[in-house]
Structure 1
Amino acid sequence: MSDDTIVAVEVRIINETDRALLVTSDKERDAEWVPLSLCEVENRDQIRNTCTLHLPEWKAIQAGLV
């Protein structure tokens, strides 16, 4: 695994601040904060509160998103 590998993960947004998103990829998992400085948000659905996050693989693993 390379530290600069970027992965795309479908997530549900629970909460957000100016600097981070509280997200979960699975109803069985606890939500985790992901700093906006580490990710790019794409395909945001305001109604369903979902989006695709592009973030480093190490952070996705650490947050339990993959």
Structure 2
Amino acid sequence: MDLPLNTSVSANPGTKPPSYDGCTLEEATTELGVSIERARQIEAQALRKLRFFCWRHGWNYHLLMGD
């Protein structure tokens, strides 16, 4: 599906996705309906993808993440 850059795909058009800034891991897993271990697996996979993306584009992952 090709979308213009300023278009977002949402189950409920006009609504923003939930923000998990500042909530605990337990609160996020309860709302998402997954176990804590599954949330850690998802996070690890996302960080691996981000590191690869940064490597592929010549970006410094540690500067991006603030390490």
TM-score range normalised by the length of the shorter chain? under 0.3
The TM-score with structure 2 as length reference comes to: 0.19
Name the structure where helix makes up a greater proportion of residues.
2
The TM-score with structure 1 as length reference comes to: 0.19
Relative contact order, higher structure (CA 8 A, sep 6+): 1
Higher-Rg member (1/2) = 2
